[in-house]
Amino acid sequence: MRLQRLLNPRSIAFIGGAECAVAIERTRALGFTGQIHAINPRRPQLGGVATIASVTDLVVAPDAAFIALPRAATIPVVRDLRALGCGGAVIYAAGFAETGEGHLQTALLDAADGMPLLGPNCYGFINTTSRVALWPDEHGLAVCERGVAVLTQSGNIGCNLTMLQRGLPIAMLLTLGNQADVDIAGAVADLALDPRVTAIGLHIEGLRDVDAFVAAAAIARQHGKPIVALKTGRSPQGARITLSHTASLAGADRLCDALLDRCGVARVSTLSSLVETLKLLHCGGALTGKRLLSLSCSGGEAALVADLAVEHDLLFPPFSSTGAQRVAATLNELVTIDNPLDYHTFIWGQREKLEATFAAALADGFDAALLILDTPTHPSMKPDSWLLTARAFMAAHKHTGARAAVVASLPEGMPTSLASELAAAGVAPLIGIDDALQALRAAASIGEHQRRLATAAPWPARRVRESAGTQTAALREVAAKQLLAAHGIDVPRSIECALVDAPEAARQLGFPVAVKISNEAIAHKSDVGGVALSLNSAEEVTSAVAGMRHLGERVLVEQMVTGSVAELLVGVVRDPQYGLALLLGAGGILAEVWADNVTLLLPASRVDIESALARLRIWQLVVGYRGRKADAEAIVRAVEGIAAFADQYRNEIEELDINPLLALPDRAVAVDALIKLRATPEFLTTLTSRPT
């Protein structure tokens, strides 16, 4: 554990002025019993601690240091601390790489020479389990023996999280700033080994090292530490010219989504849902599934939770027949036994009856049970009967061992004292129905990933071999399809020829045919009039070819493929950070408009491919709709073949776009294909000069 001394120090050096005085006070307030050194040549004391003039006056090496000096003065102090053998330092100062001063950040790292650094441009950290707050501001965290760890690159978001009154026990909060040394991956790898950490929450602005993050997530998984992330930056990747639909759809944010999914990290969309997910994970870890039970004494709440669950792909299945009988036996005959269950108010205020109903319901094998309950916090109201209900639910949880959460629909409906009581009993105190459902879906997705581990493809070594004279070029469509056919992908019969020979080629193939301009510089041929479909005679071919003369000298004549059930898009794109990614989605000319697609990082297993395809809305057409269905197995084989092709040419492939892959009742056919490779001219010539 590289950060062990820094995060759990027995001695701390605070070097600077006012910020250090605050940090000393915060550390003392948590009850730190170790040694504190205050270093400032112009002040007699900092935070009540007598100062010494210089780091070089220290007799022994501190385990941790908080440095709040101007950036230029920070570097020599780091060098002196490293020479002493300090365990690590927080660098508060800004003005390094984030402002373009990369040389200063390099000098800082050189001075540290391997000594762990948080920052620069960061607020520091709070470790409530070790009673340490290298933190120059207010915070509201209390000492705890066990809780979640939260990592953020934003000091202000870190501050906001310390103000929580939602019943989330935070064991450690780290702000990472520029991540010059300790990054998210390094921190996760260390925190995953700490037995006091129950789950890890991330606020990610950017990942410095994808491979290291994958390895850190694996360590967390091995040690039973689920991870949930809030990733900012959903806006599209910087504008660039792309040849394919795939490249335009698989932006950086989609690739990050694919990475998190690959690593079993749940992604949420808001800070509040991050907090609620951490509470749920702290109280029991990942869920085994997404079959939920909802209990409330209001039909309105029952309907609301059922409606919102649809958006999160969660299920409220009915009770089993025996379960329904057990629950009904505890309730008035006027109550309809359903899920979500409105148990009415016939038993309100009656502890034994409430507990009997809740225990009967929780015993029916759901993956998690929710009690929708807003408890009064207004000073003019008495919360007694609501607290009685919550405690009956806690008792039912203890009796059955079922995963359980109390959900307040509004923040005002969850008293902080009740939240703490619930969490101590292992019942997650969740706030906001929608955030609670996001949390449940996130916890279920982590459990689903754990079940897929047995079939997961290993993370690849993604280093691309660059060779002298490498260039990037798109292949002619006929060459692209020839390569795909060699990997088992079905393509139409075709002949590439001069324009004048197109009618004869059509006769050889048999009508109807399609004619396309054969010019690798034109990616979207239909946009410029370079495609003619369903031509039924030599005369129609001649006329179509005449309209393409301005686009090139050769055409591709193909046998028409008819009777498709659906059009799919299958593509591969290379990203310098994430490596090769496979994109699956609804195809055709409206691929971007439909936005029905899923991205996987390669390599991907068959199970991954099947799972991704099943998430597409268009997949319902493939598996059967109104009496028509396609050959789903053929589509899966085609995608596997494309993935195998990408693996064979992993050092050369830049983009691949099959749009559409036609889903037919008896096969899957790639009727349009674009491949862009980076390779030497000799390699490209070899590929494009093969006989057609």
Residues 6+ apart with CB under 8 A from 68: 14, 15, 16, 17, 18, 19, 20, 23, 92, 93, 136
**pLDDT value for 581:** 93
| Residue 380: how many other CB atoms lie within 10 Å | 5
| Average confidence (pLDDT) over 106-118 | 96
| Residue 466, in any domain of the structure | no
Domain tally, the chain: 4
Domain endpoint, select from 211, 232, 253: 232
The residue segments making up the domain with residue 408 are 292-454
| Average confidence (pLDDT) over 589-608 | 84
Residue 552, domain CATH: 3.30.1490.20
Same domain membership, residue 626 and residue 678: yes
Same domain membership, residue 577 and residue 540: no
Same domain membership, residue 516 and residue 429: no
Same domain membership, residue 605 and residue 500: no
- Picking from 562, 604, 592, 594, the residue whose alpha carbon sits closest to that of residue 657 is 592
User: What is the tens place of the pLDDT at every residue in 159-196?
Assistant: 999 999 899 999 999 999 999 999 999 999 999 999 99
| Residue 286, in any domain of the structure | no
Average pLDDT value for the chain? 91
Residue 588, domain CATH: 3.30.470.20
8 Å CB contact between 68 and 136: yes
Same domain membership, residue 307 and residue 211: no
Go through 562-596 and write b for each residue having 16 or more CB atoms within 10 A of its CB, e for each that does not. eebbbbbbbbbbbbeebbbbbbbbbbbeebeeeeb
Q: Could you write out the DSSP letters of every residue in 318-341? A: PPPHHHHHHHHTTS-TTS---SSE
User: What is the tens place of the pLDDT at every residue in 664-684?
Assistant: 999 999 999 999 998 766 666
**pLDDT value for 246:** 46
Cα distances from 273 to residues 67, 413, 449, 539, in angstroms, run 33, 17, 20, 63
Same domain membership, residue 629 and residue 540: no
Domain endpoint, select from 454, 476, 505: 454
Same domain membership, residue 226 and residue 138: yes
Same domain membership, residue 29 and residue 143: yes
User: What is the tens place of the pLDDT at every residue in 251-286?
Assistant: 577 888 899 999 999 999 999 999 999 999 999 999
Please state the pTM of the whole predicted model.
Answer: 0.89
How is the beta sheet containing 45-46 ordered, strand by strand?
Answer: 45-46, 49-52, 35-39, 11-16, 64-68, 89-91, 117-118
Same domain membership, residue 408 and residue 500: no
**pLDDT value for 692:** 43
Beta strand ranges found along 508-596 (DSSP E): 513-517, 531-535, 554-559, 566-575, 579-586
Same domain membership, residue 127 and residue 95: yes
| Residue 254, in any domain of the structure | no
User: What is the tens place of the pLDDT at every residue in 134-144?
Assistant: 999 999 999 99
Q: Is the confidence at residue 249, as pLDDT, over 80?
A: no
Cα distances from 461 to residues 121, 179, 465, 647, in angstroms, run 32, 23, 11, 12
Q: Is the confidence at residue 526, as pLDDT, over 60?
A: yes
Q: Could you write out the DSSP letters of every residue in 117-130? A: EE-SS---EEETTT
| Residue 643, in any domain of the structure | yes
Percent of the chain as helix, strand, coil, to the nearest 5: 40, 25, 40
| Residue 469, in any domain of the structure | no
> d(Cα 428, Cα 454) in Å, to the nearest integer?
30
Same domain membership, residue 657 and residue 581: yes
Domain endpoint, select from 232, 250, 275: 232
| Average confidence (pLDDT) over 427-440 | 96
| Residue 505, in any domain of the structure | yes
| Residue 267, in any domain of the structure | no
| Residue 332, in any domain of the structure | yes
| Average confidence (pLDDT) over 467-477 | 76
Same domain membership, residue 500 and residue 384: no
The mean-pLDDT minimum among 132-136, 339-343, 454-458 falls in 454-458
Residue 361, domain CATH: 3.40.50.261
> d(Cα 538, Cα 536) in Å, to the nearest integer?
7
